[in-house]
């Protein structure tokens, strides 16, 4: 039974979108976009372009002044967005604009716990739900300390998506999976975000361990930047999160052409999404 004051739980649209991609024989694409980068108001157009290119779930980055988990590319985009005046409140306004434009792709807001806490957990989660957000990632919040946010997320009818690292213990994995919805986000490297030449083989071991505790989809992120990377993780995961290289493409030319560059890059990843059929 839901506690008094709890909003009706929304359908787990994130999980449904990833499962739909998997049922079509492909890994889901989850692009990451920093809100209001490179310029205020452009995020809606970028989201539209990458959705049309084949994105299954959208991860929107809520910039923070001290983003310890972000590599130089995403840090720089966040700092620029902060200079542009982005705040948690304007991030919600951006999601509203996306929904008003008729874009129905599931949206996950990724931020840092202090950003969320500054608004108040219940207010942040309620505002996110009302804006059209489907899930939240708190990048610096260990699963063992996540219960207050989990409670607020549950009351708002959202999904809290946990981050698990290559160094996560079995106990941490089990704890994170207990109340998770949407998908489990497995970090493919030790360190910060950023495009890399190759993917660590250790992340497959992590994904296999996670599957012992949940039937939720598993998404792999940090370092995915090519169709070959996507094809690699498609062998053992359900979703591929692509961030730093997409931000690089958005940043590398005229602002007016940023949505088109984002679309072109996402389309370049599509050949890697096909999952191999294993014969019985």
pLDDT digit string, tens, across residues 153-194 = 999 999 999 999 999 999 999 999 998 999 999 997 654 444
Lowest-pLDDT choice from 101-115, 168-182, 189-203: 189-203
Average pLDDT over residues 198-204: 74
* pTM of the predicted structure, to 2 decimals: 0.92
109 band by pLDDT with thresholds 50, 70 and 90? very high
pLDDT at 202: 86
| pLDDT category of residue 148 using cuts at 50, 70 and 90 | very high
* Neighbouring C-alpha atoms within 13 Å toward the C-beta of 79: 10
Helix, coil or strand: residue 271: helix
Under DSSP, is residue 199 helix (H, G, I), strand (E, B) or coil?
coil
Beta-carbon contacts of 56 under 8 Å, excluding residues fewer than 6 positions away, are 17, 18, 20, 21, 28, 29, 30, 105, 106, 239
- Assess whether pLDDT exceeds 50 at residue 195: no
| Dmax (CA) of the chain | 55
- How far apart are alpha carbons 128 and 140 in whole angstroms? 19
Please give the Cα distance from 263 to 266 (Å, whole number). 5
* CB neighbour list of residue 61: distance below 8 Å, 6 or more residues apart: 32, 33, 34, 35, 74, 77, 78, 110, 111, 243
Do residues 214 and 177 lie in contact, with contact meaning Cβ atoms separated by under 8 Å? yes
pLDDT for residue 243 is more than 50: yes
Please, are residues 199 and 221 in contact by the beta-carbon 8 Å criterion? no
Lowest-confidence pick of 59-73, 135-149, 214-228, 252-266: 59-73
Pairwise CA distance, residues 79 & 132, whole Å: 25
272, pLDDT greater than 90: yes
* Domains of the chain as residue ranges with CATH: 13-270 (3.20.20.70)
Check residue 69 and give its pLDDT: 63
Helix/strand/coil percent split, the chain, to 5: 45, 15, 40
Name the average pLDDT for the chain: 91
Task: Please tell me the predicted confidence (pLDDT) of residue 11.
Answer: 63
d(Cα 86, Cα 94) in Å, to the nearest integer? 10
Minimal CA–CA distance to 125: which of 160, 96, 97?
A: 160
For 49-96, the pLDDT digits (tens) are 999 999 999 999 999 988 776 778 999 999 999 999 999 999 999 999
Nearest to 248 by CA among 37, 43, 36, 29: 37
Q: Which residues are catalytic?
A: 59, 70
Distance of CA 75 to the CA centre of its chain: 16
Mean pLDDT for the stretch of residues 241-268: 97
| The pLDDT of residue 2 is above 50 | no
According to the model, what pLDDT value does residue 276 have?
77
């Amino acid at each position: 039974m839901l506690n008094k004051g709890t909003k009706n739980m929304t359908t787990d649209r994130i999980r449904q979108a990833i499962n739909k991609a998997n049922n079509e024989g492909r890994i889901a694409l989850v692009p990451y976009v920093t809100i209001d980068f490179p310029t205020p108001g452009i995020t809606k157009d970028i989201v539209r372009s990458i959705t049309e290119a084949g994105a299954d779930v959208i991860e929107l980055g809520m910039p923070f002044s001290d983003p310890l988990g972000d590599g130089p590319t995403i840090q720089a985009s966040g700092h620029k967005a902060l200079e542009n005046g982005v705040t948690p409140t304007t991030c919600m306004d951006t999601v509203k604009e996306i929904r008003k434009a008729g874009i129905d792709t599931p949206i996950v807001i990724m931020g840092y716990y202090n950003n969320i806490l500054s608004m108040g957990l219940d207010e942040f989660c309620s505002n996110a739900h009302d804006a059209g957000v489907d899930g939240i990632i708190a990048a610096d919040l260990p699963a063992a300390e996540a219960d207050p946010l989990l409670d607020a997320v549950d009351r708002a009818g959202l999904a809290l998506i946990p981050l698990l690292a290559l160094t996560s213990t079995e106990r941490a994995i089990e704890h994170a999976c207990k109340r998770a919805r949407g998908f489990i986000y497995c970090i493919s490297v030790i360190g910060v975000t950023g495009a890399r030449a190759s993917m660590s083989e250790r992340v497959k071991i992590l994904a296999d361990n996670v599957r012992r505790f949940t039937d939720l989809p598993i998404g792999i992120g940090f370092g995915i930047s090519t169709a070959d990377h996507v094809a690699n993780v498609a062998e053992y995961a359900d979703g591929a999160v692509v961030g730093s290289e997409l931000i690089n493409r958005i940043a590398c030319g005229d602002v007016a052409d940023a949505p088109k560059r984002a679309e072109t890059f996402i389309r370049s990843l599509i050949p890697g999404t096909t999952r191999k059929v294993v014969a019985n």
